[in-house]
Amino acid sequence: GESVGLHLPTLSVQEGDNSIINCAYSNSASDYFIWYKQESGKGPQFIIDIRSNMDKRQGQRVTVLLNKTVKHLSLQIAATQPGDSAVYFCAENFGNEKLTFGTGTRLTIIP
């Protein structure tokens, strides 16, 4: 079925440390997997995406890893900063431009 889920609803990380947010998916037909960041009172903001034929993609301080064998997606944030505190959502795109979002993980950066 079409479902995207997250392993942990909350995550606390010391400022400066690296964080890893995980996501499981069930639909092997997804074309793209995407990570969004949502700060309090704001709409979600695109962070990074990865095509289904890739295993890894890097951005600025972020890396997304895709393991299609176990249907697992992760977002790694390096050297976390207070501004990284937010809710992070993974989402799937099945090629029809309609995204299916997970529940979200709240990341809190501890000063």
Partner 1 sequence: GAGVSQSPSNKVTEKGKDVELRCDPISGHTALYWYRQSLGQGLEFLIYFQGNSAPDKSGLPSDRFSAERTGGSVSTLTIQRTQQEDSAVYLCASSFSGRNTGELFFGEGSRLTVL
Residues that bind partner 1 (CB under 8 A): 31-34, 41-46, 49, 89, 91, 93, 95-104
Q: Which is nearer to partner 1, 100 or 108 (CB)?
A: 100
Report the nearest approach of partner 1 to the CB of residue 106 (Å).
Answer: 9
Report the nearest approach of partner 1 to the CB of residue 88 (Å).
Answer: 11
d(Cα 1, Cα 18) in Å, to the nearest integer? 32
Q: Which is nearer to partner 1, 1 or 111 (CB)?
A: 1
Smallest CA-to-CA distance from 57 within 38, 76, 72, 84 is with 76
Q: Which is nearer to partner 1, 46 or 55 (CB)?
A: 46
Residues in the chain: 111
Q: What are phi and psi of 84, to 5 degrees?
A: -80, -10
Residues 6+ apart with CB under 8 A from 18: 76, 77, 78, 79, 80
Report the nearest approach of partner 1 to the CB of residue 59 (Å).
Answer: 12
Report the nearest approach of partner 1 to the CB of residue 81 (Å).
Answer: 22
103, 6 Cβ separation under 8 angstroms:
yes
Q: Which is nearer to partner 1, 15 or 101 (CB)?
A: 101
